[in-house]
């Protein structure tokens, strides 16, 4: 790099393997993307220690009456909203236990909101309106440079929340602003700067791990079964029936009847079936 020129973060650098991307066949493009995607689990494995600390922090926060808040911009914000929205139906927890906050508000979940990630004042305002002392706030930004997310993380620490960063830049301002930094070294993308690719995939894997491991530790599963799921549709009712049938050793029809009597409470239906 020349004198006075700042080296771009790894999320913005060009991938040498993709230098002739425009001349590749469709199959060659797909093969290259698949090869690059195959490196993501290794990057996540390299951050397991930090992910473990993040899970323990989330568990401790919830046990003490706190909640979880994901905050991000663009793809990172959407992934946070997505993960938070899955907590209630999967684990039967209250809707407010986990919330996703995205720069630009709900509209930004469906379309780009110009300048939203650069609005530091909005990041501080949004997290102060949503987080409280004892919560765990997870700031998500592949580059670690989104002013909205950095300001939200600093505001979270100021109000007394635990702070966790998920980023692909371990030396970023976001990583430095958090108590626990999960740094995912996924390297340059196939399309330079498009961190919805490897960066997004790695982030999704980490959020899966944080929420799932925390819920397991807090007893919201029965070994590998969703014992606290909310049977809000036909698919989930079938799953609930299968769980009760398997765990109580009764026919599916009997399991359905017991679930209906128990208002589709899986644990209660299993307990009553075993007593019976």
Cβ–Cβ under 8 Å, residues 143 and 75: no
pLDDT (average), residues 128-147: 97
CA 180 to chain centre: 15
pLDDT for 11 beyond 80: no
Cα–Cα dist 166/50, whole Å: 10
- Give the total residue count for the chain: 276
Determine the number of helices (DSSP H) and then strands (DSSP E) in the chain.
11, 5
Determine the pLDDT at residue 264. 95
Structure confidence by residue, pLDDT tens digits, 114-131: 899 999 999 999 999 999
| CA-based nearest residue to 208, from 83, 87, 61 | 83
Binning pLDDT at 50, 70 and 90, where does residue 21 land? confident
As a whole number of angstroms, the distance between CA 273 and CA 276 comes to 5
User: What is the Cα–Cα distance from 63 to 68, expressed in whole angstroms?
Assistant: 12
Asked whether 161 and 134 are in contact (CB, 8 A), the reply is yes
pLDDT in tens, 178-222: 999 999 999 999 898 888 999 999 999 999 999 999 999 999 999
CB of 154 closer than 8 Å to CB of 128: no
Residue 12 vs residue 45, higher pLDDT: 45
Beta bridge partners of 138: 70, 164
Contact 139, 150 (CB under 8 A): yes
* Average pLDDT score, the chain: 94
Instruction: Kindly report the backbone phi and psi dihedral angles of residue 23, in degrees, each rounded to the nearest multiple of 5, phi listed first.
Output: -100, 0
Res 5 pLDDT > 80: no
| Confidence tier at 6 by pLDDT (50, 70, 90) | low
Pick 112 or 134 by higher pLDDT.
Answer: 134
Distance of alpha carbon 85 from alpha carbon 117, whole angstroms: 21
Res 7 pLDDT > 90: no
How many angstroms separate the CA atoms of 195 and 234, rounded?
A: 36
pLDDT at 271: 93
- Residue 1 is predicted with a pLDDT of 43
| Closest to 78 (Cα-Cα) out of 200, 164, 210 | 200
pLDDT greater than 50 at residue 250? yes
By percentage, how much of the chain surpasses pLDDT 70? 98
Q: How far apart, in whole angstroms, are the C-alpha atoms of residue 18 and residue 75?
A: 22
Of the chain, the end-to-end C-alpha distance in Å amounts to: 75
4 pLDDT more than 80: no
Asked whether the predicted pLDDT for residue 16 surpasses 50, the reply is yes
Its pTM stands at: 0.92
- Give CA angle at 99 (96, 102), nearest 5°: 150
pLDDT at position 112 is 87
Catalytically active residues, by annotation = 86, 117
Q: Would you say residue 2 has pLDDT above 70?
A: no
């Amino acid at each position: 790099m020349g004198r006075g020129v700042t080296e771009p973060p790894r999320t913005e650098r060009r991938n040498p393997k993709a230098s002739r991307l425009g001349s590749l066949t469709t199959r060659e493009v797909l093969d290259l993307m698949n090869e690059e995607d195959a490196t993501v689990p290794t990057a996540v494995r390299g951050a397991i220690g930090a992910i473990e600390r993040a899970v323990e922090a989330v568990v401790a926060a919830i046990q003490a009456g706190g909640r979880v808040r994901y905050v991000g911009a663009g793809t990172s914000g959407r992934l946070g909203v997505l993960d938070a929205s899955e907590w209630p139906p999967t684990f039967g927890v209250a809707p407010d236990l986990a919330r996703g906050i995205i720069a630009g508000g709900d509209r930004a979940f469906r379309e780009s909101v110009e300048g939203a990630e650069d609005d530091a004042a909005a990041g501080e305002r949004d997290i102060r309106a949503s987080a409280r002392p004892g919560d765990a706030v997870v700031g998500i930004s592949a580059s670690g440079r989104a002013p909205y997310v950095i300001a939200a993380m600093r505001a979270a620490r100021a109000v007394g929340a635990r702070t966790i960063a998920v980023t692909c830049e371990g030396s970023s301002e976001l990583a430095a602003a958090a108590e626990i930094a999960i740094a995912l070294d996924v390297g340059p993308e196939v399309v330079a700067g498009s961190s919805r690719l490897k960066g997004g995939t790695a982030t999704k894997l980490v959020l899966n791990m944080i929420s799932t491991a925390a819920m397991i530790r807090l007893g919201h599963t029965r070994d590998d079964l969703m014992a606290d799921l909310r049977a809000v549709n036909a698919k989930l009712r079938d799953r609930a029936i299968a769980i009760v049938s398997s765990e109580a050793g009764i026919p599916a029809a009997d399991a359905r009847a017991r679930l209906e009597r128990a208002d589709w409470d899986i644990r209660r239906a299993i307990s009553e079936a075993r007593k019976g």
